[in-house]
Chains A and B, each alone.
Chain A
Amino acid sequence: MSALPLHTPLYDWHVAHGGRMVDFAGWAMPVQYSSIIEEHKAIRSAVGIADISHMGRLRFEGPGAAVFLAELLTRRVADMELNQIRYSLVTNDQGGILDDVLVGYYHNSTGQPFFLVVVNASNRAKIVDWVAAHLPCERAERPGQEVVWADVSRLWAMIAVQGPRSVELLQPLINVDLHVMRYYRGAQVSILHPAAQRQGGIISRTGYTGEDGFELSLGADIARAVWEVLIEMGRPLGLVPAGLGARDTLRLEAGMPLYGHELSEQIDPFQAGLGFACHLVGYDFPGREALLKIQGRPPQRLRVGLELFGQRPARQGCPVFSANQAVGEVTSGTYSPTLGKPIAMAYVSPEFAAPGSELQVDVRGRREPARVVELPFYRRKRSRGLSQLSRGLSRFSSDENGTVPFPTAKMGLSPSAETRTQKGSDE
């Protein structure tokens, strides 16, 4: 990683539009343009876009790619369907978390299959090294099981489009029906605008805000032009560009962990509440045996949500007490714009982890009363999503008399355990 912060393809736009640039994981990124609270609320109520081109993206292809990834990631990969995405972890041999990632399975425009693994910007170098260490030449070139991979982070930009009006904004620009695209599904798509210069992109119904939305990967050379088209088309919908500040308050409200806060090599997936992302039978990946042992033991600490009764937000590192006993530590804390009060995530001893537990947080020397609450702090209303699904479904349904059958019946969606745990991962 270079000493100077890296620039995304949208850097010049951010600077020209009042983005307050900060160094984040080696990248110069906008923390906000106007007000974090305004940007946050726009994404909760309308739509916002954020530059997430700093996210690391590793592409894997070749006949051995699926098995290689199955032997690297904690989540099953070999059985993934086309255009499916899964949340997974990368663990070290001790079961500590090296990163949390999204792995997607796509076909490119000529029908060649490939996997895209999206890693945290702060962990890109580490994961690239980890992949290289587990993929020596003799493994990568094993006849019939070849794996070709590349870090394409610098070639592609990535734009998060988040908020209840995301479909409305994006649909005119995308050649697949976004109304029916399910959560944690994606597609290789065409971008229907001259600004895209006939280039395609990869879109997925994923995000880090707890809101409906999409993430769009596209060529670095067209990123700014497409971003400006989104700004223009989004204006009547209430779109604002959002920085890292709003992304942090949004993901915190949604109860989503952030590497370096809730996740680290010292934390195992079960403590973090991410056991659903670990498939310990089947392919052998680094950390699998350690995780089997850890799974059988009672956890030493658990990730919880805290609501504070006062006005002072708790921050990372604040000690958590029950009476005079130290029982844990805050990993992230902020003021929740949606709830209008301070919220935090913390690791606490299991006996204090039940919702309703009354605790105190030491905020710079003063004890602030807090209560353990269930995560997430904020859950979006599903009615809109369901009506969208029904509307979309009717296009595929011969039954036009208004009764829409249960989606699985007509669309062949399999309500497998896999699907349910994925939903659990975000909700």
Chain B
Amino acid sequence: MATPPSKDLLYSKTHEWCRVEAGPASGKTATVGLSAFALQALTDLVFLDLPPVGREVKAGQPFGEIESVKAVSDLYSPVDGQVAAVNAEAAKRLDHLADDPYGAGWLIKVKITDEAALADLLDEAAYQKQCEEEQH
């Protein structure tokens, strides 16, 4: 059962979603994944490359890559921070990534070091609008 996108998701223009939550200790953590729209557009996934825990990531910079039969795409971090967790299961079950992109299909968790970049992200409505425009 796919987890529906919830109101608390933010999106990058490059189709990554993130869910920002407090903790684990001080500060905030962002769970990052790829939107249903992006996964539907990609199809035929064959390879996913994610960074190791501890890697610094910068908003707007690639943190990994996802490859389909047709082409390879970079994955861009929506936030500044440090990788706190990696979903190793996602790479093993690529053909199921699109089944639950906002739940089991999460890719990395990032301990946010600078919240400034969050202001550049899109909310659900703005992101849906962008997707509709891209479809035409």
Contact = CB atoms under 8 A, between A and B. Distances in A.
B43 interface: yes
Chain B residues touching A, majority SS: strand
B111 to A, nearest CB: 27
Chain A residues touching B, majority SS: loop
Contacts, number: 37
B136 to A, nearest CB: 12
B46 A32 contact: no
Contact of B47 (A32, A36, A313): A313
Contacts of B65: 364
B43 A35 contact: yes
Interface stretch (B53-61, B66-74, B78-86, B125-133): B66-74
A312 B68 CA distance: 10
Interface string B40-53: 00011011010000
B44 A37 contact: yes
Nearest to B47: A311
A245 B69 CA distance: 8
A337 interface: yes
Contact of B67 (A35, A245, A312): A312
A191 to B, nearest CB: 34
Nearest to A335: B46
Nearest to A245: B70
Nearest to A246: B69
Contacts of A311: 46-47
A216 interface: no
Contacts of A31: 70
A337 B46 CA distance: 10
Contact of B43 (A32, A313, A335): A32
Interface in B75-110: none
Contacts of A313: 46-47, 67, 69, 72
Size band of the B side of the interface?
A: 10 to 19
Contacts of A334: 69
A37 B45 CA distance: 10
A342 B68 CA distance: 11
A32 B42 CA distance: 11
B68 to A, nearest CB: 8
Interface in B17-57: 43-44, 46-47, 49
A79 B136 CA distance: 52
A315 interface: yes
Interface string A293-322: 000000000000000000111010000000
Contacts of B47: 311-313, 335
A313 B47 CA distance: 8
Contacts of A35: 43-44
A225 B24 CA distance: 62
A315 B68 CA distance: 12
A245 B68 CA distance: 11
A34 B46 CA distance: 16
A8 interface: no
A249 interface: yes
6 contacts: A32-B43, A36-B69, A312-B67, A313-B67, A313-B69, A335-B47
Interface of B: 43-44, 46-47, 49, 65, 67-70, 72
Given A313-B69, A334-B69, 6 more contacts: A35-B43, A35-B44, A312-B47, A312-B67, A313-B47, A364-B72
Interface of A: 31-32, 34-37, 245, 249, 311-313, 315, 334-335, 337, 342, 364
Ranked nearest first, the 6 interchain pairs of A and B with the lowest CB-CB distance are A335-B46, A311-B47, A36-B69, A36-B44, A37-B44, A35-B43
